Every structure is written in structure tokens, then in C-alpha cells.
Amino acid sequence: MMEEVIRVRNLFKKYGNITAVDGISFDVRKGEIFAMLGPNGAGKTTTVEILECVRKPTSGEISVLGEDIGSKEGANRIKRKIGVLPQDFNALGRLTVRENLEFFAGIYDKHLSISELLDMLGLQEKEKERFDKLSGGLQQRVGLAAAFINDPDLVFLDEPTTGLDPEIRRATWHFIREMKARGKTIFLTTHYMEEAEQLSDRIAIIVKGKIAALDTPSNLISSYGGSKSLVFKNAGEAAFGTLRRFFETARMDGNDVILPIENPRDIQIALNALFEMGLNFEMEVKSPNIEYVFLKLTGYRIKETGEVE
């Protein structure tokens, strides 16, 4: 049995008549990257803030790092040992990057070397710049540094790469993996399918305050993702019509035709049918991914902005 760092049982959070978190239960294990994946408004931030002892739950049994979050002393002990990156990180605008990190370092009994963190995040050249003069991406990186400043056992990253360009997003992933390698447990929320799939050991898919599925990415895909598919690029209506005569599951995605492969013989049947028609296309085999799992579980996709499509 692996050591649990977070244990949540029947967590509810209500604001008046609105239920933000609807009775969820899960565990987070030591040393793993645990992702909570879902659209905006699914209850991700509320859950994270309850675990950070920033918000109070309506009901539920929750322990973090072996402490009960309900007790004041427990919450104080938790706060010393966790790191937090909120969704929109903000520091003291007129202080420099280094001064802000010195401030966060000064709050804790122990802290990592500021220079080392600046170095890891590529911030050393910006250390004397005022926080309010930095771009959003750089501000977010300062937030990431602040989240790890106290050498925490457990780190909460609430949408760490939202709004960042792909290059910075990948650099952030690299940093997070490096921190995992140092033994940190990381709890992250995201609405990016790729981020959850690439980064995490386990994913909880959360929809409307409930957990729809929780497992490793590969188990989720094999349970919900279905089979691999053949994709005929730019095949168009004619090819779709032909394949549809043999396979009910064939579908169109833009001008591509997609055929899920339930049986290896299907490939031969499909290719023969298209060949006889004189149709010839570029073709690829596509493995199912988390996006497909999410679609299958919820019936919708999530847009780049985090809204439901």
C-alpha cells in the first residue's frame, strides 16, 4: 500500500443553493503527480483551495499530510509544509523578482536557495526587475518559484500553464517533472488534456463537482478510450459513403474519415473496399487519447479557454 499524502472522503462544498463540489472522494499518493482535469466551473479550484486550508468545506473528511484540515493547529502545520501556485498569481508589484522571493522565503522557517530556484526557472536575468513590469508568463514563473521556496512536501498548482505559449508550457512541464524527481508530491488542476496526459501519474476527471473517472492515463484510455482508429486524410464524402456500407462506426471529422478498428480484419476490408472504388488516400493509425476518454465520459470537449464546447 502506497503512502497517502491527501485523503478526501465525501467532500461537499455549497455556496447557498449552488453545489460546487458534490461529494467527491479520492487519495493522492506520495511522490506522484496527480491531475484534476475538467472544464471551468467543474469545482477544481474550490477543491484545491479547500486542500490548501484557504477555504472551508461544507462537509467531508479531509486529511492532508496526515493532518486534519478542520483543526486550526492542523491547518497551521499543513501550511508550513505545502507550496501553492494560485490561478492568477500576484505578488507585490513594486518589489523586484528577488525581493518578492525573499519575502516568501522570510515567511517560512526554512527555504531553498533563491538563486538556485531563479536559475532553474530561467529567471536569473530578471531578478532585479519589478514584478509589475514582467509579462504574464514571467509572473507565473515567479509564482512557481514561490510555490517551491519553502522546500514543500506537497505542492498545489492550480492551472499552472493556462494562457502560456506552448514553449513556456513545455518548460514548465520540465520544471514540474524535475520537482517530482526530487520527491515532491504534486497536485495540479488543468483543463488541458495534453497536460494531464503528458505530466500526470493519475488523472481524476471532474465534471459538475463529481469525479467521473480516476486512474492512470493508460488505464483510462484502455477502459474508456476504445480501440485504435484508421484516419483517411481528406478522404471526403465518397470514401465515407463507401466505408459506411461495411462499418456503422465510421465517422467524419472535418474532411477526414475515421474508422475505429475493433478487429484487425477490419483494416483489410476497409482497404479493399476503397481500392476497388479506385480511391487512394494518405492514411494513419491513431491511438485513443485522454481527449477521447473525456469525450466518451462527458459527451463534450473543452475549448482552449477552458469552457465547455
Partner 1 sequence: MKVAAIFKAVTKNWLRSRSGLFFSFLFPVIFLLVFGSIFGGTGNTSYQLYVQNLDMGSGPPGLSQIFVKALNSTHVLSIKMLDPSVNATSFIRNTTAFFGSEPRVLVIPSGFQQRLLAKENVNLIFISSPADQSAQFVWGIVNDVSFRFEMFLQNSTQLINVTTVSSSYRSLRAVDYYVAGITAAFMMTNGVIGLTSVASEFRRRGFLKRLFSTPVTKTDWIVGNVLSQTVLGILLTGVMIALAIIVYHSSVSINIYTVASIFAGAVLFSGIGMTLAGLVSDPEAASGLGNAVAFPMMFLSGTFWPIDIMPQFLQSIARALPLTYFADSLRDSMLLQNYGAATLNIAITAAFAVFFMFLGSRLTRWGEP
**Toward partner 1, which CB reaches closer, 95 or 283?**
95
What is the pairing mode between strands 185-190 and 154-158?
parallel
Which of 158, 144, 248, 246 shows the shortest CA–CA distance to 195? 158
Written as nine digits, the cell of 221 is: 484510455
The CB-of-143 to partner 1 minimum distance in angstroms stands at 8
Are 206 and 38 within 8 A, CB to CB? Answer: yes
Rule CB under 8 A: which of 258-287 touch partner 1? Answer: none
The DSSP symbol for 302 reads B
* Residue 187 parent element (H or E): strand 185-190
User: Segment 201-240, which members bind partner 1 (CB under 8 A)?
Assistant: none
Give the per-residue contact string, 87-126, with partner 1 (x = CB under 8 A; - = no): -xxxxxxxx---xx-xxxxxxx------------------
Our finding on whether 14 is near partner 1 (CB under 8 A) is no
Segment interacting with partner 1 (CB under 8 A) among 18-26, 75-83, 167-175, 242-250: 75-83
Four-CA torsion 49, 207, 189, 9, nearest 10 degrees: 50
Q: Which stretch binds partner 1 (CB under 8 A): 77-85, 113-121, 197-205, 253-261?
A: 77-85
3-state secondary structure 261-273: CCCCHHHHHHHHH
Considering only residues 35 to 74 of the shown chain, the ones binding partner 1 according to CB under 8 A are 49, 52-56
Interface ranges with partner 1 (CB under 8 A)? 15, 49, 52-56, 76, 79-80, 82, 84, 86, 88-95, 99-100, 102-108, 146, 156
